[in-house]
Structure 1
């Protein structure tokens, strides 16, 4: 589902002349961006923004570029996907503050954590409990992507957060993560986008699962209060804006991407995105969340280099239960 800005009628009238199309992620991410980024930019620049949603995959971007239904001005992607998109020649490169050629710089950092149904647990669970289907029967939701999913498998097996990528960077370590996932494969409810992650949990489709914290914290109060979040072992996923190759010489597209990457806009999104524990979570943690422990940052360099090969194995594994 897309979002037309600032008003549908205005955008339709101006679309052929001066509208700009951006791709982002449906759900709370797009809702937050509409409020603090897209609408202000449209008012500032006079360019109506047409917001469309997608899954953020380089393969989807290739299809968009090869068979364009509409011209794209900017696309939001995970930073590792931006790296891969650049290597595939799908995105333009830019010079960062250190005069290094990059595909993009991080513009948003989003926490992903385990959420669970408070009515089904007397004590807050951890990732090891996520794997304990005997004590906690029911579906578990995970991302249909090796990123975050393999890290969680290792965390559940007791691998320290600071050793995750050292382990994944070896054949034995990678095999270890897949063997761990084998243990719960029949119980997994897969999702592909942040919005889907929230929908599965909020609809009762899983007992617990990985989700961007904002999809839970930004829900209606009755739904939000139903879930606890595992703040101590959360992951941080970084996103940035890319300019598609076909827009490389479009000054309006370049101006939009440059504006989106300015510190003021990064801070505006960070301020508006729900990302702090509720009082219920703080109380349940018994002081363990004061101060809030740092998240484990998903390693974009590792995934930028290794995602294509690991993803091929992962999707073969996921397709054959």
Structure 2
């Protein structure tokens, strides 16, 4: 009997150890919901490991603070590309060996199946998203058609909303002022180019509300506080399709980026974090996320598996930022540019914002 009890106790201890929760920090709203449905629920169903989702306006900020304080409470975080590179360079993240990632269904290694640049030393991309602008069709039945229209208060009167920060705003401002997408970063690297971008922002500054969380832009539109807003494309899609809001995305001048999973240095459940990241970024899981939000999967093999929205009737392809017809005047965000200049340009942006 004693041996049986001892064995039972040991097995219980092993089972308890295997059930360590995984805590994932993401951006909240429709985006976190898509991750819950596509990644977290299936992971728990398959492994028995509970996945706790927590929200932040920008997970990179609390991740940096946690690591610096040696008090890390999350295992995985969803961050933007430039933040992933910078945090990795600063030693804030665990390295991720691409060999731990599953191959495509046809056996293609992950290193060849992910889109170009989607794998880094410390991060694995999940989605391609874009910053776009959108408007309320009840206010503008004919609607703006170009990024220049967003800055045209005479032709399209009404309040605007933009993310409170330099990234994407400066690029959109230059494209609105006629700079071809291919020349935007070369222009921003010059003092004259920066001045030109801020001069465009000056045109709408007094009529702009500044948002910080991804859930805010569709809410600002829904509440009638603004007539147009920049936003993450999936948030507008969710409001328009799932909630029947009269919102329309304008793809002209969109700024494309990856979002990536990282593991903070000192994550409390490191091995389980790695298993979760590998699971969540396999071909099927990335395709499944597109059932819940209109972000493109970061694996080539996931693309053909993208079909209908979870309503069972809306084709997701046309709503993807990577759809051919949506890429006419699109700009891939330059992480090289932002890794080097993020602090400097946000300081200038905040000073500009504070000035009369």
The alignment's TM-score, normalised by the length of structure 1, stands at 0.83
Residue from 104, 118, 141 that aligns with 2:137 = 118
Classify 1:173/1:248 alpha carbon distance in 2 versus 1 (closer, same or farther; 3 Å). Answer: farther
- Would you say the 8 A contact 1:21–1:51 is kept in 2? yes
- Which consecutive unaligned segments of at least 5 residues does structure 1 have? 1-13, 283-288
SS in 2 for 1:200: helix
Residue from 44, 53, 59 that aligns with 2:46 = 44
Residue from 142, 146, 156 that aligns with 2:176 = 156
Aligned: 1:264 with 2:278:
no
- Give the Å deviation of 1:136: 2.8
Aligned twin of 1:55 = 57
- Write out aligned runs for 1:24-103 (5 A): 24-67=26-69, 71-96=73-98, 97=111, 102-103=121-122
Classify 1:139/1:176 alpha carbon distance in 2 versus 1 (closer, same or farther; 3 Å). Answer: same
- Write out aligned runs for 1:236-315 (5 A): 236-247=256-267, 250-274=270-294, 291-293=325-327, 295-315=330-350
Classify 1:222/1:271 alpha carbon distance in 2 versus 1 (closer, same or farther; 3 Å). Answer: closer
Aligned: 1:208 with 2:223:
no
- Give the Å deviation of 1:35: 0.8
The alignment's TM-score, normalised by the length of structure 2, stands at 0.75
Aligned equivalents of 2:281 and 2:80: distance in 1?
14
- Would you say the 8 A contact 1:108–1:270 is kept in 2? no
Aligned equivalents of 1:15 and 1:28: distance in 2?
32
Classify 1:251/1:223 alpha carbon distance in 2 versus 1 (closer, same or farther; 3 Å). Answer: closer
Larger radius of gyration: 2
1:81-102 superposed Cα distances (whole Å, 9 cap, x missing partner)? 111111222212234438x961
Aligned: 1:189 with 2:209:
yes
Aligned equivalents of 2:324 and 2:73: distance in 1?
47
Aligned residues: 298
Q: Which moved more, 1:301-310 or 1:223-232?
A: 223-232
C-alpha RMSD over aligned residues: 2.9
1:241-276 superposed Cα distances (whole Å, 9 cap, x missing partner)? 000001287211221122223333322223432369
